[in-house]
């Protein structure tokens, strides 16, 4: 599917206890619903006041999360000069009303508190910041860029501690092994899921060169190998080890009829897979790679470089698990040729740090776990977000489970043949 380069946006605007109606519809650059930089700029222009987007109210698209028609709630930071307040109709009042599982940053009060915290921490560090620029917001996180008096921007990221890693602690673990791998943390508030980071110059490596791959993969593997020998330090991470994934998958099976559109036949095949997994996990363990800290979403868009050694960012999905799950993650973002090179680099790195291991076989065997881990993670998102945000992830658990079945011959074990 060719993805839209924009979306049609309508914004419900409030200021404190007043409702100022809708602005729009208008076209916003970038099709991604979570990208709100352009939405904020246009809504502010139409309202005659600076605004911040709190959350997605509704979205309709053939490509969920992208393009189509989107409706947001935004809070004006000052009383709008281009609009008049008006009564709320019943339908809109219901859409803007408080909801269970709403993210802390998806309310005017939560937004204000997060930005005030960031401004205060920067001021204490001698880097007072100008008005924040809102870049992204959705059910998983919000991201703001803050220009500072020192000339180096800072970034505020907010996530939910209920179902995400404490990124500041993860960055400290990795940075204690290799400081060049991670961004600089300026301040952290783990209770509220807030993180203040120094700007990392450069660009995200969506199409990484062979040089970038040959740089970042061995460095990350080296850090994982060191941390694998420190189990006490990793004890606070979410457990996504193979045994835990198996148990969590078995628990998910009973929910599949209500949570997905998987057919009865597909569900039966998944139950067969669950029964076969212990043998697969034993074979995976025999490959000799240690359980360690995982990034959890180790695709090249989370590597950032400015012609130097890449910095790895975005640790919200970090967990304890089998390193082959990180090793497999770049594949979906690379050409077949680039993936073969990445697999070779990753394999060579683990052979160096785990002599006698068989990392290539581990990549092959971990294929079902790779998809199962994402099915479980997407279900975790759905379990923790409010109803209006579900279109972002609805169908994702079933898609990952179908990916498992696509590589599992009917009536047989997983296809783990060399690709």
- Burial of residue 41 (CB within 10 Å: 0-12, 13-18, 19+) is middle
CATH code given to domain 203-406: 3.90.1200.10
pLDDT computed for residue 268 by the predictor: 96
Between 336-353 and 210-228, two packed helices, what is the crossing angle to 10 degrees? 30
Give the whole-angstrom CA distance, residue 321 versus residue 293.
6
Looking at domain 106-198, its CATH class is alpha beta
- Burial of residue 83 (CB within 10 Å: 0-12, 13-18, 19+) is buried
pLDDT computed for residue 417 by the predictor: 42
pLDDT computed for residue 120 by the predictor: 96
pLDDT computed for residue 413 by the predictor: 54
Which residue intervals of the chain bear CATH 3.90.1200.10? 203-406
Q: How big is the chain by its Cα radius of gyration, in Å? A: 23
* DSSP label at residue 35: B
Give the whole-angstrom CA distance, residue 163 versus residue 384.
7
Q: Calculate the alpha carbon distances from 300 to 198, 273, 372 in Å.
A: 20, 30, 21
Q: pLDDT averaged over the chain? A: 93
Which residue intervals of the chain bear CATH 3.30.200.20? 106-198
Convert the pLDDT of each residue in 60-96 to its tens digit: 998 888 999 999 999 999 999 999 999 999 999 999 9
- Burial of residue 5 (CB within 10 Å: 0-12, 13-18, 19+) is exposed
Virtual CA dihedral for 44, 49, 52, 53, nearest 10 degrees? -50
pLDDT computed for residue 226 by the predictor: 98
Give the whole-angstrom CA distance, residue 372 versus residue 132.
38
Q: Do residues 15 and 75 touch, judged by C-beta distance below 8 A?
A: yes
Convert the pLDDT of each residue in 236-272 to its tens digit: 999 999 999 999 999 999 999 888 899 999 999 999 9
Give the whole-angstrom CA distance, residue 224 versus residue 334.
22
Strand partners, 55: 73
Q: What is the pTM of this model?
A: 0.93
Convert the pLDDT of each residue in 186-206 to its tens digit: 999 999 999 999 999 999 999
Convert the pLDDT of each residue in 275-305 to its tens digit: 999 999 999 999 999 999 999 999 999 999 9
pLDDT computed for residue 418 by the predictor: 36
pLDDT band at 38 (very low <50, low <70, confident <90, very high): very high
Sequence-distant (6+) residues with CB within 8 A of 209 are none
């Amino acid at each position: 599917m060719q993805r839209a380069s924009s979306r049609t946006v309508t914004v419900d605007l409030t200021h404190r206890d007043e409702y100022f109606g809708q602005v729009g519809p208008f076209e916003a650059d970038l099709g991604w619903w979570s990208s709100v930089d352009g939405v904020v700029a246009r809504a502010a222009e139409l309202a005659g006041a600076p605004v911040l987007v709190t959350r997605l109210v509704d979205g309709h698209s053939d490509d969920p999360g992208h393009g189509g028609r989107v409706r947001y709630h935004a809070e004006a930071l000052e009383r709008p000069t281009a609009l008049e307040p008006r009564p709320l109709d019943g339908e809109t009042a219901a859409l803007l009303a408080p909801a269970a599982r709403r993210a802390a940053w998806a309310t005017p009060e939560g937004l204000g508190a997060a930005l005030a915290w960031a401004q205060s921490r920067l001021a204490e560090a001698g880097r007072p910041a100008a008005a924040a620029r809102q870049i992204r917001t959705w059910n998983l996180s919000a991201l703001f860029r803050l220009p500072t008096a020192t000339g180096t921007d800072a970034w505020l990221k907010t996530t939910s501690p209920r179902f995400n890693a404490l990124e500041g602690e993860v960055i400290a673990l990795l940075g204690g092994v290799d400081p060049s791998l991670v961004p600089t943390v300026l301040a952290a508030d783990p209770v509220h899921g807030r993180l203040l980071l120094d700007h990392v110059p450069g660009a995200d490596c969506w199409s990484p060169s062979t040089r970038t791959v040959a740089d970042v993969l061995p460095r990350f593997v080296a850090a994982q190998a060191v941390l694998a020998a420190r189990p006490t330090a990793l004890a606070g991470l979410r457990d996504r080890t193979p045994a835990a994934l198996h148990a969590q998958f078995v628990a998910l099976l009973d929910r599949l009829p209500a949570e997905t559109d998987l057919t009865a036949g597909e569900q039966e095949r998944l139950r067969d897979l669950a029964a076969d997994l212990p043998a697969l996990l034993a074979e995976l363990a025999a490959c000799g790679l240690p359980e360690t800290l995982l990034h959890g979403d180790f695709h090249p868009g989370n590597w950032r470089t400015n012609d130097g050694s890449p910095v790895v960012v975005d640790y919200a999905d970090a967990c304890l698990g089998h390193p082959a799950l990180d090793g497999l993650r770049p594949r979906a973002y690379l050409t077949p040729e680039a993936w073969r090179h990445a697999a070779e680099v990753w394999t060579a790195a683990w052979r160096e740090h785990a002599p006698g291991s068989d990392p290539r076989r581990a990549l092959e065997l971990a294929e079902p776990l790779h998809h199962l881990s994402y099915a479980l993670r997407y279900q975790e998102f759905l379990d923790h977000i409010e109803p209006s945000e579900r279109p972002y992830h609805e169908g994702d658990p079933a898609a990952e489970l179908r990916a498992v079945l696509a590589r599992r011959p009917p009536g047989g074990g997983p296809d783990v043949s060399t690709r």
